[in-house]
Amino acid sequence: MSEEFKVEIKPENLVYQKPALTTDATMHYCPGCSHGTVHSLIAEVIEEMGIQDSTIGVSPVGCSVFAYNYIDIDWAEAAHGRACALATAMKRLNPGKMVFTYQGDGDLAAIGTGETIHACNRGENIAIIFINNAIYGMTGGQMAPTTLVGMKTATTPEGRRVDLHGYPFKIAEMLTHLDGVSYITRQSVNNPVNVRRAKKAIRKGFEKAMAGKGTSFIEIVATCNSGWKLSPVEANRWMEEHMHPVYPLGDLKDI
């Protein structure tokens, strides 16, 4: 190695590190899954806002059921789909706390559609993190409400057919019609630029919820390389080519 590329390991040269609020527990997520990245972003946002002692997270049923193992804050694990009902009461009974839910597509947009819509319509001052990877990861790769047309899953072995299963559920678009929601955005963590954008969006959502502006809804279009049966790199590429056109990134509502 030549002199000019000499590596200087000094604290002031450190660009990235494990967020202080991320625990040392070994993650159960598959290598390549987006959950770990999003967890880190949430941990960083909570830390940067200095609200680790007053934040309550609600984890769902699905792959992220054990989200509570990884971020060092108070957590409740909800019944399948009911995270927004829990969060509603938590926030109303503890208005000074930051309350957020972390939910997958099956949890939020299938079994929990009712709770999601009504929490948003009431304008609960909570943040909802919605991980959309178009598949049921934990139960072994079945069709999600957000599964793309033609996409093969364990319950759509020949691909999702509109005549049998209907259309991919664009719940973020639907929620824009509800007056209680002040911020709806769709992000992805497929490259460093988007990771930084997603973090900004999460921070904005948390700040709006704390400011009492109503519900914040942050969708993250995510990979499930195991469920999609692709390598992590291929999954990222597949997401960009197939998911992003159906679920375009950017703010849908910001008032």
Partner 1 sequence: MEEVRLMKGNEVLAEAAIRCGCDGYFGYPITPQSEVLETLMELKPWETTGMVVLQAESEIAAINMLYGGAATGKRVMTSSSSPGISLMSEGLSYLAGAELPCVVVNVQRGGPGLGTIQPSQSDYFQATKAPGHGGFRMIVLAPFSVQEMHDFVGLAFDLAFKYRTPVMILSDGVIGQMMEKVVLGPQQPRWTDEYIAETCMDWALTGKKGRGRNIVTSVDLDPNSHERFNLKLQAKYRNIEENEVRYETVRTDDAEYLLVAYGSAARIGEKVVEMAREEGYRLGLLRPVTLYPFPTGPIEVLSRQVKGILALEMSAGQLIEDVKLASQCRVPAYHYGRTGGVVPSPGEVYEAFKAHFPK
Using rule CB under 8 A, residue 94 touches partner 1? yes
64 φ/ψ angles, rounded to the nearest 5 degrees: -90, 20
Q: Which tokens is 28 given?
A: 């159960």
Using rule CB under 8 A, residue 88 touches partner 1? yes
Which residue number, 103 or 185, has a Cβ lying nearer to partner 1?
103
**Paired residues of 99 in beta bridges:** 56
Residues with Cβ within 8 Å of 22's Cβ and at least 6 positions away in sequence, in order, are 39, 40, 43, 70, 71, 72
Which residue number, 73 or 189, has a Cβ lying nearer to partner 1?
73
**Paired residues of 253 in beta bridges:** 184
Q: How far apart are CA 202 and CA 206, in angstroms?
A: 6
Using rule CB under 8 A, residue 55 touches partner 1? yes
Using rule CB under 8 A, residue 155 touches partner 1? no
Which residue number, 71 or 221, has a Cβ lying nearer to partner 1?
71
CA dihedral 158, 162, 164, 170 (to 10 degrees): 110
Q: Which of 106, 115, 120, 190 binds partner 1 (CB under 8 A)?
A: 115
Using rule CB under 8 A, residue 176 touches partner 1? no
| 25-54 residues near partner 1, rule: CB under 8 A | 52-54
- Of 65-73, 141-149, 185-193, 227-235, the window that binds partner 1 (rule: CB under 8 A) is 65-73
Which residue number, 119 or 144, has a Cβ lying nearer to partner 1?
119
- DSSP state for residue 22 in the 8-state scheme: B
Q: Minimum distance between the CB of residue 236 and partner 1, rounded to whole angstroms?
A: 29
Sign for the pseudo-dihedral over CA of 224, 23, 58, 210:
negative
Residue ranges in contact with partner 1 by CB under 8 A: 52-56, 58, 65-66, 68, 72-79, 82, 85-90, 92-94, 97, 114-115, 118
